[in-house]
Amino acid sequence: MDGLLAQAFVYLTAAVIAVPIAKRLGLGSVLGYLIAGMIIGPDVLGFVGSEGQDVLHFAEFGVVLMLFVIGLELEPALLWRLRGPILGMGGLQVTISTALITGGAIAFGLPWNEALAVGMILALSSTAIVLQTLGEKGQLETSGGRSAFSVLLFQDIAVIPMLALLPLLGSGVHTVDAADAGHAESASLLAGLPGWVQTLAVLGAVAVIVVGGRYALRPVLRAIARTRSREVFTAMALALVIGIALLMQLVGLSPALGTFLAGVVLATSEYRHELETNIDPFKGLLLGLFFLAVGASIDFELIADQAGVIFGIAGGVMLLKFLVLLALARGFRLAGDPALLFAFALPQMGEFAFVLFSFATQEGVLGAAIVDPLVAAAAISMAVTPLLLLVNDRLIRPRFGTKERGQRPMDSMTGHAPVLIAGFGVFGATIGRLLRAKNVDTTVLDYDSDRVDLLRELGLEVYYGDATRHDLLDVAGARDATLLVVAMPDPDSTLKVVRTARKHFPDLRIFARAFDWSDAHVLRDEGVEAVYRQSLDTALRAGRDALRILGFRAYQAQRATRTFLRHEEESLDAIAGMEGKDRSAFVSTARARIADLERILRLELEDSGVDRDRGWDPESLRDEFGSDESTAGREAADEGEATGAGGTTGGGEADHIR
Amino acid sequence: MARVLIVFAHPALEKSRVHRRLVAATPRDERVTFHDLYQEYPAFDILVEREQELLLEHDVIVLQHPLYWYSGPPLLKEWFDLVLEHGWAYGSEGDALEGKVMLQAISAGGQASAYCEEGYNRYTIRQYLRPFEGTARLCGMRYLPPWVVFGTHRLDGPDIDAWADAWARTVTWLADEGWGDIEPDPDSLLVEGAGECAPWPIAGIDERLEPNAVPTESGSGDGGGG
């Protein structure tokens, strides 16, 4: 197959076919991608040839994006709380697994330096497969999932010293063919410089990310947000991540680690949700591509030739790592479900194996005869991981696991306020302030970056973002909220938010501000629970005060206003009911608006019963009892006087009776 | 069988101790309609026609409210003023409510013993409730001996539970048997509140309506209710 488009078509089609099937079968998307990759790979259909390796390298960027998104969801405080598991469990996992695998390799006759290289590389697990699979199952937030995450994070850090150590293990036995070795991390410009310069550069790069992320980035994001151009913001988000990845490569750090750090720094910023929403689709696509490429890279011919060796390595290494993980789980007081999840999640070899093996080959540490079966074993182990987790879920855990008590999800990342307010102009802000006064938490989404800044300075939970996008609503917690208040600045965006919310979150109750009568209809038809017409209440208040100035008693004017308001709403309902579905076709036309207005006026004339409080009206009592002196009459007259208080104490008739 | 309408008026149910429990204990079936005035008309814009329809559909009208300044909360009074229209509820042509029964179910902060001539409040609870009684009579309704929880400030959890239980039995009893032809003493209460001024028992009424626990006797009290 030739050409970028043709390739893209093959990959996308494979994903579109395989992933839904895999998900339907309960296998999860990762397995779907892997199987699709194998099928389009060179050994089955042959749609993808040797360029699969290049695609793999390109798609590794998906891992970088994933760690950025994970960083965005991890507030620094939470990361600090995880420092124990990261250093303790992560450190021990890498050291012990390395030692054991090295020992095994020596036992099989490898020289110690080659054995150590193999041990280090195989000790690492696959961040991409594990996090994607656990995330899909919602297991990342359990204690087992979080421990797995901690270990993976440590492994990302551990790659740095490994890259430094591997060249030192070179014995010069293996011939070096740099061109063949691909583009590994060795691109570092600093490779030739003395150690202290390299160290300084690394520290400098980290400082750039932390300080820049905290102080320089926000004004830049704000300036871009102010352009209100969504694709520029997306471009900025991507440029940011790619820039950091490049910087990291320059100083020889793992790009994933750098973007993770940047994510954490930005986790407390108002642009968190928006960045996440923008990066997410790219992350998903690239990760999918990565899994496809892993599947396609599995060399069935090689496996068939050396089946015993390769499956032996894969099985042996996984068993070894599995046992180490179980022991660690016990050591760190994980038991039952979390321990099983932790141990089943991490025994595979990871994508770092591909990178590091090619690097080691390039440095002359390992020869192709050793590396090829190892790479095949790594790919197999990755492919097997989702299956292992499935087996754990379906077969092992139900029998041997214990339920985890008091699961503490990472909920600090998305505060689940009961009320979402979309649009924080005067209307939305007034609602927000009222709710706040009664200690009701709200999450606010607004698309005006200046306002977002101001409100955040006042200490409000406001996020910059486009509420018409369902993914942003999701990130903001629409799934768990009770109520969405739509207070967008114009009818179009209001309708968009309402439709999006109705479609993706059918349980969410919706209040919406409408701009005119016709608009209110449409919103009602869309299933909005309560529609608030812009300026209806203020107009009525002004009307009420006008009545007062003209001599009406304040309470009468007030009651007339209330009655009028109720009448308005009833007519709205009545018309909405009458029209049914016909009206939606021409609802936004001028004709419909005029017809509606006409209808309101007519209803108004037909029933102008604004003053219906007959209980306070002594007229009928005077008619009945005014001249009669019977007993019943007297009692009732008393009653009449009591109820018709205005008649005796309210002053002249003219100023209150109509 | 009788259809019971509970017209409930409490401006701050969230702060209530007694009524919240009474409301929770009220049996909900097709014979009992619970109608929460402050929830329906927070802006006092009572829908007269709707209220009149409700009244017509029921046989027993229960007014449930705390006693505020020896009377009901303001929305209840507004409800009387607007709903019981001349020519509908009273007057030569007003007979819509004739033959129905009215029961008042109230809570009072003061102890039962405070409501008598020598007591702190000087008058009996029946005397304070005369305007309600008179309204019922003018509309041709029978006014039942009121159901009163006294001394609400001193009630604790188990006491209130017992009252809630008694209230549930009272409502069930009204729905099952209506009122019948019982002619109670004009100064009686429907259940005993442990005060000398409240004669008990009323001939013909079952003792099963009485709460298990009754509040202890004490001297102080005022017009505020629970």
pLDDT tens-digit readout, A271-305 = 888 888 888 888 888 888 888 887 887 778 888 88
Looking at residue B59, which CATH number applies to its domain?
3.40.50.360
**pTM confidence score:** 0.54
In terms of average pLDDT, the best of A167-181, A275-289, A442-456 is A275-289
pLDDT of residue A485: 94
Bigger pLDDT: A641 vs A232: A232
Confirm whether A612 is domain-assigned.
no
Same domain, A229 and A339: yes
Task: Indicate if the pLDDT at residue A50 is higher than 70.
Answer: no
Give the 3-state secondary structure of chain B: CCCEEEEECCCCHHHCCHHHHHHHHCCCCCCEEEEEHHHHCCCCCCCHHHHHHHHHCCCEEEEEEECECCECCHHHHHHHHHHCCECCCECCCCCCCCCCEEEEEEECCCCHHHCCCCCCCCCCHHHHCHHHHHHHHHCCCEECCCEEECCHHHCCHHHHHHHHHHHHHHHHHHHHHCCCCCCCCCCCCCCCCCCCCCCCCCCCCCHHHCCCCCCCCCCCCCCCCC
User: Using a CB-CB distance cutoff of 8 angstroms, which residues of chain A are in contact with residue B43?
Assistant: 562
pLDDT of residue B132: 96
Same domain, A596 and A643: no
pLDDT-derived band of residue B59, with 50, 70 and 90 as boundaries?
very high
Contact between A445 and A463 under an 8 Å Cβ cutoff? The reply is: yes
What values do phi and psi take at B32, rounded to 5?
Answer: -115, 125
pLDDT of residue B216: 39
pLDDT of residue A589: 46
Same domain, A264 and A333: yes
Same domain, A433 and A375: no
* Distance of residue B40 Cα from the nearest chain A Cα, in angstroms: 13
| Stretch 9-68 of chain B: residues touching chain A, C-beta under 8 Å | 43-45, 48
Percent of chain A exceeding pLDDT 70 equals 80
Q: Which of A246, A94, A84 is nearest to A159 (CA)?
A: A94
pLDDT-derived band of residue B208, with 50, 70 and 90 as boundaries?
low
Listed range (A422-436, B158-172, B203-217) with the worst mean pLDDT: B203-217
Listed range (A208-222, A533-547, A637-651, B126-140) with the worst mean pLDDT: A637-651
Confirm whether A21 is domain-assigned.
yes
Q: In the predicted model, what is the mean pLDDT of residues A11-20?
A: 86
Domains in chain B, number:
1
CB-based burial, B77-86: b 16+ in 10 Å, e otherwise: ebbbbbbbbb
* Distance of residue B214 Cα from the nearest chain A Cα, in angstroms: 37
Question: What are A531's strand-pairing partners?
Answer: A512
Residue corresponding to tokens 């790619």: A242
Contact yes or no for B86 and A636 at CB 8 A: yes
Confirm whether B215 is domain-assigned.
no
Same domain, A421 and A355: no
Q: Read off the DSSP letter of residue A615.
A: G
- Tell me how many degrees the CA angle A81-A84-A87 measures, rounded to the nearest 5: 125
Looking at residue A207, which CATH number applies to its domain?
1.20.1530.20
pLDDT of residue A248: 84
Contact between B106 and B70 under an 8 Å Cβ cutoff? The reply is: no
Domains in chain A, number:
3
Confirm whether B226 is domain-assigned.
no
Same domain, A379 and A509: no
Listed range (A167-171, A381-385, A490-494, B44-48) with the worst mean pLDDT: A167-171
Query: Which three-class secondary structure state does DSSP give residue A469?
Result: coil
User: Using a CB-CB distance cutoff of 8 angstroms, which residues of chain B are in contact with residue A620?
Assistant: 86-87, 91
Confirm whether B121 is domain-assigned.
yes
Confirm whether B221 is domain-assigned.
no
pLDDT tens-digit readout, A26-49 = 777 777 888 888 888 877 777 776
pLDDT tens-digit readout, A116-164 = 989 999 999 988 888 888 877 777 777 788 888 889 888 877 877 787 7
pLDDT of residue A593: 53
Alpha-carbon gap, residue A262 to A64, rounded angstroms: 11
pLDDT-derived band of residue A601, with 50, 70 and 90 as boundaries?
low
Listed range (A33-37, A54-58, A192-196) with the worst mean pLDDT: A192-196
Confirm whether B12 is domain-assigned.
yes
The string of DSSP codes covering A359-421 is HHHHTTSS-HHHHHHHHHHHHHHHHHHHHHHHHIIIIIHHHH--PPSS----GGGS---SEEE
Confirm whether B79 is domain-assigned.
yes
What residues make up the domain containing A230? 4-400
Percent of chain B exceeding pLDDT 90 equals 46
pLDDT-derived band of residue A189, with 50, 70 and 90 as boundaries?
low
Contact between A139 and A145 under an 8 Å Cβ cutoff? The reply is: yes
Contact yes or no for A615 and B138 at CB 8 A: no
pLDDT of residue A190: 62
pLDDT of residue A321: 92
The first and second tokens of residue A107, run together, are 């036992």
Contact residues of A toward B, CB < 8 A? 559, 562-563, 566, 612-616, 620-621, 624, 635-636, 639-640, 643
Contact yes or no for B90 and A639 at CB 8 A: yes
Task: Indicate if the pLDDT at residue A577 is higher than 70.
Answer: no
Q: In the predicted model, what is the mean pLDDT of residues A247-266?
A: 83
Task: Indicate if the pLDDT at residue A651 is higher than 50.
Answer: no
Consecutive H or E run containing A331: helix A307-331
Long-range contacts from A95-99, C-beta under 8 angstroms, 24+ separation = A96/A324, A96/A328, A97/A122, A97/A123, A97/A320, A97/A321, A97/A324, A98/A123
| Stretch 121-150 of chain B: residues touching chain A, C-beta under 8 Å | 138
The first and second tokens of residue A385, run together, are 């991981």
The mean predicted confidence, pLDDT, of chain A is 77
pLDDT-derived band of residue B69, with 50, 70 and 90 as boundaries?
very high
What residues make up the domain containing B23? 4-209
Confirm whether B8 is domain-assigned.
yes
Contact yes or no for A639 and B81 at CB 8 A: no
User: Using a CB-CB distance cutoff of 8 angstroms, which residues of chain A are in contact with residue B90?
Assistant: 636, 639
Confirm whether A407 is domain-assigned.
no
Nearest CA in chain A to B87: A620
Contact yes or no for A643 and B81 at CB 8 A: yes
pLDDT of residue B89: 93
Same domain, A151 and A287: yes
Confirm whether B123 is domain-assigned.
yes
pLDDT tens-digit readout, A302-361 = 888 888 888 888 899 999 999 999 888 888 877 777 888 888 889 998 877 877 887 788
pLDDT-derived band of residue B26, with 50, 70 and 90 as boundaries?
very high
User: Using a CB-CB distance cutoff of 8 angstroms, which residues of chain B are in contact with residue A566?
Assistant: 45
The shortest CB-CB distance from A636 to any of B45, B85, B91 is to B91
Same domain, A363 and A445: no
The shortest CB-CB distance from B86 to any of A562, A566, A620 is to A620
Indicate the residue among A400, A424, A455 that finishes a domain: A400
pLDDT tens-digit readout, B132-152 = 999 999 999 999 889 999 888
Confirm whether A487 is domain-assigned.
yes
Confirm whether A191 is domain-assigned.
yes
